[in-house]
Structure 1
Amino acid sequence: MHMADTVSSSPRARLQRRRRAFQFGFFVLFLVAPALDLLRFDLHEAQLWFLGQRWSLGITAFQQGQATATQTALAILLRGFVPAIVLVVGFLAVAWRYGRLYCGWLCPHFSMVEALNGLLHRATAKFSLWDKRPTLRPGQQPQPRWWPVFGLACALMGFTWAITLLTYLLPPAEIWGGLLHGTLTPNQARFLAIASGVFTLEFAFARHLFCRFGCAVGLFQSLAWMANPKGMVVAFRREAARDCRSCSPPTGSACDTACPMRLHPRDIKRMMFSCVQCGRCLSACETSQGAQQRAPLLQWAVGVDAVRETLRQKKSEQAEREALAQRARKD
């Protein structure tokens, strides 16, 4: 069996294919959910639709005298507060244990971040317009012909985001019909134009910044994860750190260049605040080290193993600070 076949059939390669499948499925769900009334809020009717059914708190029935105050209060509690609390607690519980798992495995925005990273890298050998230097692979050269593709993809994704979000608030048939027949209201057309422009600029220039600092969903996941010392982290076999030199060309190591969030996976946990647990750094490490018949240096650690990794990171950081201080005193 060739090395390429071995790598492509490795557990981490299969994990990435599984992650891509989850991302694709959730992205399709994100697009079709309003049209199928799986989830949307109709501003015309002030009505929430969920799984094809009207989701009511019973307030209208109370106003019409069809329900008592006690029945209405119970309906608000059971159909409003309880589902919301269960959803938030369950979501944060997953984040507490596994970090920003939703971002790396489901989030439709992050799926587009990864796709646009790939297109921009073809055009400039950079994954972000703000990268200071290119990350060229052996034999690779920037191909300017990909610039128009990158720009068109940003615009297309910006428009897709704008019109999809609008269909979560207004009937999809009304929006798509108005778009096709030119009968959108001025406010609808204005929203689509402005939102498309904003999203296009965000995808082109600030997609990583938004994921790190602008997304409330990602931020709360990160806060929950940082508060748990046993939360899943990327562990680095520091005793074999010298093996990293073989996969560290002038443009950066394999794991650093693989990270779609532009992080450095071997950093301490607090420097990995916005890690989305996509596992691409682990796959890149496995590919690079496997080509040299060596075991991967990166792996996921959770529970007690995560605590040990954090303690090792702190000791390593303290040792580095002490070494720097000693050199400074000698100088």
Structure 2
Amino acid sequence: MPHPLRRRRLCFQLGFFALFLLAPSLNLLRFDLHETQLWFLGQRWSLGIDAFRAGEISANQAAIQIFVRAFLPAIVLVVGFLAVAWRYGRLYCGWLCPHFTLVETLNTVLHRACGKLSLWDKHRTLRAGVKPSARWWPVFFSLCAVFGFLWAITLLTYLLPPAEIWGGLLAGTLTPNQARFLIAASVIFTLEFAFARHLFCRFGCAVGLFQSMVWMANPKGMVVAFDRDHARDCRTCTTATYPQGSACDNGCPMRLHPRNIKRMMFSCVQCGQCLDSCEETRTAQSGKPLLEWKVGADAVRETLRQRKAERDAAAVLERKD
């Protein structure tokens, strides 16, 4: 992945992360439980039900407003979101999702503490210039706690007035229910960030799962294609960042193996880090990258080729048996 594209992805991630945190305070998007009122782009988003009850509009006008202001936006949003997922997979996860931004951040900090990107990794992932140090453990768990609390209070401000929540927090006047929610949610999110952030992204996030299922159903959806004709070159795959080899595997923040077939890449977030690692390796070897994105008819050919290679491998194993 070219450096400009990598920087662009980082800008998208940081921008959407800031939007996620600030949207309730700016009334860009939140639902006020006190008023039973949706706020959108700084405006009260009304379905016209109150106006109908007050006799200001007819039943037909109310029905039209409900369709235009509720059903139509929901349909457009869902169809548009799934259309992107149909063609590009978990693009939202890899390029926008605030949770995944934290996953990558915590991966980096944890790696400095123990040399692993997940507490459940069996082996260390060596990186040039990074020597694991125990002094990073307090930083890692502190960040998990800070992000856990930040997630809890941000989600609460999507449901209650941000001024009330932040003001109550600073003044110590939160209601018992608000305090209970913040404590419980903070603990849950802290544990998730520390021990299960990859598992949540891969198997627990409904948004991600729907994207993956839609993408898997489309044979023309974008895939990471592997040039198996030059697979032997992977034996010498090392980079300055990943001196132990398997640069694409070690670079994947979702702990996947990018050279695998599509159905084994169900949780791929299309972040492009595997492509970037492969390009770095092959550039140093004066060769062409062995990984690249394929979409459309090229993706279909890649999928068919993968299936053929899988059948051939199975046939070889049967003959050996």
TM-score normalised by structure 1 residue count: 0.94
* Cα deviation digits, residues 179-231 of structure 1 (max 9, x gap): 00100000001100000000000000000110111111111111110010000
Partner of 1:315: 308
| Cα displacement (A) at 1:141 | 3.0
| Cα displacement (A) at 1:139 | 5.9
Partner of 2:112: 122
Unpaired runs of 5+ in structure 2? Answer: none
* Cα deviation digits, residues 90-115 of structure 1 (max 9, x gap): 00000001100000000000000000
Partner of 1:182: 172
CA distance in 2, matches of 1:190, 1:14: 45
Partner of 2:295: 302
The counterpart of 1:206, out of the listed 196, 211, 214, is 196
Is 2:126–2:243's contact at 8 Å kept on the other side of the alignment? Answer: no
CA distance in 1, matches of 2:182, 2:244: 40
Is 1:23–1:111's contact at 8 Å kept on the other side of the alignment? Answer: yes
* Cα deviation digits, residues 132-179 of structure 1 (max 9, x gap): 111113564321111111101100110110000000000000000000
> Is it true that 1:111 corresponds to 2:101 in the alignment?
yes
CA distance in 2, matches of 1:253, 1:317: 21
CA distance in 1, matches of 2:157, 2:193: 20
* Cα deviation digits, residues 268-318 of structure 1 (max 9, x gap): 000001100000000011111212221111000000000011011111111
> Is it true that 1:231 corresponds to 2:221 in the alignment?
yes
CA distance in 1, matches of 2:127, 2:108: 13
CA distance in 1, matches of 2:142, 2:255: 23
Is 1:104–1:278's contact at 8 Å kept on the other side of the alignment? Answer: yes
Partner of 2:252: 259
The counterpart of 1:47, out of the listed 32, 37, 51, is 37
Other structure's SS at 2:39 match: strand
Identity %: 72
Partner of 1:5: none
Partner of 1:191: 181
| Cα displacement (A) at 1:60 | 0.8
| Cα displacement (A) at 1:12 | 1.8
| Cα displacement (A) at 1:62 | 1.0
| Cα displacement (A) at 1:251 | 5.4
The amino acid that maps onto 1:287 is E
CA distance in 2, matches of 1:269, 1:305: 13
CA distance in 2, matches of 1:117, 1:13: 21
The amino acid that maps onto 1:36 is L
CA distance in 1, matches of 2:307, 2:188: 41
Unpaired runs of 5+ in structure 1? Answer: 1-10
> Is it true that 1:37 corresponds to 2:30 in the alignment?
no
Other structure's SS at 1:144 match: coil
Using the TM superposition, name which of 231-240 and 241-250 deviates more: 241-250
Is 1:125–1:135's contact at 8 Å kept on the other side of the alignment? Answer: yes
Equivalences for residues 1-331 of structure 1 within 5 A: 12-138=2-128, 140-247=130-237, 253-328=246-321
Is 2:127–2:243's contact at 8 Å kept on the other side of the alignment? Answer: no
Aligned Cα RMSD in Å?
A: 1.3
The amino acid that maps onto 2:77 is L
The amino acid that maps onto 1:286 is E
TM-score normalised by structure 2 residue count: 0.97
Other structure's SS at 2:135 match: helix
| Residues paired across the two proteins, number | 318
The amino acid that maps onto 2:304 is L
The amino acid that maps onto 2:294 is A
| Cα displacement (A) at 1:259 | 0.4
Partner of 1:4: none
